[in-house]
Amino acid sequence: MSALMSVTGGRAGGVAGQHALPRFMRGPARFAGRLLRGDVVFPRFSATIVSAFLFAATGAYGAYVGGQWPQIVQAVTSRSGFAIDNVRVVGNRQTSEIDVLGALGLDGWTSQIGFSAEAARRKVLELPWVETASVHKIYPGTVEIAIKEKTPYAIWQHGDELTLIQKDGGVIAPFSGSKFASLPLVVGIGAATGAAGIVAKIDRFPNLAGRVKGYVRVGGRRWDVTFDNGVTVKLPEEGEDQAIADLARLDKEHSLLSRDIAAVDMRLENRLFVQLTPEAAEARAAAVKERTKQAKKSGRDV
């Protein structure tokens, strides 16, 4: 009865000064009483087991405080059948699976339990060709990564560098090889962000669009358009749409761009200047000289 009471004086059995222990404390109190009387017999090696438990608990707490708990979870779970041993990558064409695996840092012992799909998705998004990505864990050991890649729109030349860009001017990756050689070439500062606009305007006229070799941004204000035969058309800063329409009409009616010329200057409103090639200029000078000579012989004014 002494284990159930807190005695301050007198005998048990309702004497003043005695208080009953709460129900939840009565069991531990009985055990404490038996332990003090020597009635409790511990099994063999119990001290060793308790010591080992205390050491393990201390080590686990230290690992938690030191920030090493995730590594311990990874090591234990990966060796318990939860290691990621299969990675499926879908939707990738320009991004290799090796690039994806390198971004994730998988080493064959990475545990799927401690693997963060969101952190992996952010790392995949850092790859140059990746526009969107999703990462899913499929237990017990598979990770599936779905990728949507960026669409190259043009090749941007800035200085000596060639770069693939998106329609909005966003940079994708350095241009190499001939895989995207058919894309429009835009040159100069500001050409990347303005590429979609000028290409769309020229594309409205098929007799011009199929012959363009490159678009050069001049001073961040206007465009020079170079054609496949070397002719350069200097478009105005204002009235660009009308100048392009006039150019298409002149080429269709008079084969302007097929003549022996080097450049067409359309920068002045309602004025068009044509620059001959050096050979054509030399031939024209010789023809003028010959006409002058013949005129003098015949006594006519030149």
Tens digits of per-residue pLDDT, 67-103?
Answer: 544 444 444 444 444 688 889 999 999 999 999 999 9
**Contact partners, residue 23, CB within 8 Å, separation at least 6:** none
Rounded distance, CA 20 to CA 32, Å? Answer: 16
Q: What is the largest CA-CA distance in the chain?
A: 158
Pairing of strands 273-276, 261-265: antiparallel
CA distance to 11, 14, 30, 33, 178, per residue, from 17 (Å) = 9, 9, 21, 21, 99
* CATH node for 78-149: 3.10.20.310
Structure tokens at 177: 């090889």
Is CATH 2.40.50.100 the right assignment for the domain spanning 154-281? no
Q: Give SS3 for 106.
A: coil
* Per-residue model confidence as pLDDT tens digits over 261-302: 999 999 998 889 999 887 755 655 555 555 666 666 666 554
User: Cα(first)–Cα(last) distance of the chain, in Å?
Assistant: 143
Helices (H), the chain: 23-37, 46-65, 69-77, 97-104, 117-125, 191-203, 206-209, 240-254, 278-298
Residues of the chain with CATH 3.10.20.310: 78-149
Q: Quote the CA–CA distance of 140 and 115 in Å, as a whole number.
A: 12
pLDDT at 40: 53
Look at residue 48 in the predicted model and tell me its pLDDT.
60
CATH 3.40.50.11690 domain extents, the chain: 154-281
Q: Which residues of the chain have pLDDT under 70?
A: 1-21, 23-29, 31-82, 108-109, 280-302
Strands 154-158 and 185-187: parallel
What the block records as the tokens of 15 is 């004497």
The 8-class DSSP code of residue 176 comes to -
Name the pTM for this structure.
Answer: 0.67
- In sequence order, the 6+-apart residues with CB closer than 8 A to the CB of 73 are 111, 113, 114
Query: Which token pair is 142?
Result: 């598979």
